[in-house]
Structure 1
Amino acid sequence: MKRLTEEEINQKLKDFEGWTYAKKALHTSFQFENFKEAFTVMTRIAFEAEAQQHHPNWGNVYNELEISLSTHDADGVTEKDFKLAQAIENIVEATN
């Protein structure tokens, strides 16, 4: 998988509100009403990540979920990261 240039990444990020690029990865965070809602979304994302065979770096504290995406084999961001980012956005939107 080809690593995207910073220019390509910034162009694609225009379609992803709340996502940023830093340290060779895409980053975002979400806040939910409570821990149960955050964990429910994490579970849905986990199933999607497994289906795509591409897994996020993430952390959860109570109602907040922080996510970073990068393709380790490419040492940066690839199309795989944007595909998973879109799936994550769709999952979060479906829960609102």
Structure 2
Amino acid sequence: MTIDRKHTFGPEEIEARLKADLPHWRYEDGWIRRNYRTNSWKGTLMVINAVGHLAEAAWHHPDLTASYAWVEVRLMSHDAKGITVRDFALAQKIEEMVTWQPGLQADGPLEGTPQHDLRFSYLKYD
């Protein structure tokens, strides 16, 4: 079965997919959007770089808005002029990478950044 990468979804389909698969994302003004809260400019830059890496690797380019302690990611397939499977796929990858918390794995070798010490903590997890 071939995936139609330029098929655009209607508002009801978009809302249903977000609710089921990406609950922290929202549909607004023709974009799917997500705000990531950070603890500092350092965290903001780390989120931007992570999103940038994934977007470039996927050859799909989000719009970003950033400030000291937050980043907004907006996805819409410009060539299709709407929300496509590419937007949902990239949003899922962004969500997985940005919100990954290795410290939650009690028996894992990676401890994760200390959330209680703002010198090291960078993302405010939902």
TM-score above 0.5, yes or no: yes
2:11: which partner in 1? 6
Gapped regions of structure 1 (runs ≥ 5): none
Matched, 1:24 2:30: yes
Distance 1:36 1:21 in 2: 28
Greater helix share, 1 or 2? 1
Q: Which residue of 1 aligns with 2:48?
A: 42
Which position in structure 2 is the counterpart of 1:93? 99
SS in 1 for 2:53: helix
Q: Give the fraction of aligned pairs with identical amino acids, expressed as a percent.
A: 33
SS of alignment partner, residue 100 of structure 2: helix
Paired residues of 2:63 and 2:74 also in contact (CA < 8 A)? yes
Output the CA distance in 1 between the equivalents of 2:49 and 2:8.
Answer: 28
Gapped regions of structure 2 (runs ≥ 5): 1-5, 102-122
CA apart distance, 1:55: 0.8
**Aligned partner of 1:4: which letter?**
F
Question: SS of 1:68's equivalent?
Answer: strand
Conserved? CA contact 1:41–1:91, under 8 Å: no
Q: Matched residues in 2 for 1:38 and 1:94: separation?
A: 15
Aligned residue for 1:47, secondary structure, equals: helix
Structure exhibiting the larger radius of gyration computed from Cα positions: 2
What residue identity is the alignment partner of 2:25? W
Residue 29 of structure 1, CA deviation:
0.4
Distance of 1:22 and 1:61 partners within structure 2: 20
2:81 aligned with 1:75: yes
Correspondence for 2:3: none
Structure 2 length as normaliser, TM-score?
A: 0.71
Give the whole-Å Cα distance in 1 for the aligned partners of 2:15 and 2:32: 10
**Runs of 4+ more than 4 Å apart:** none
Output the amino acid matched with 1:70: M
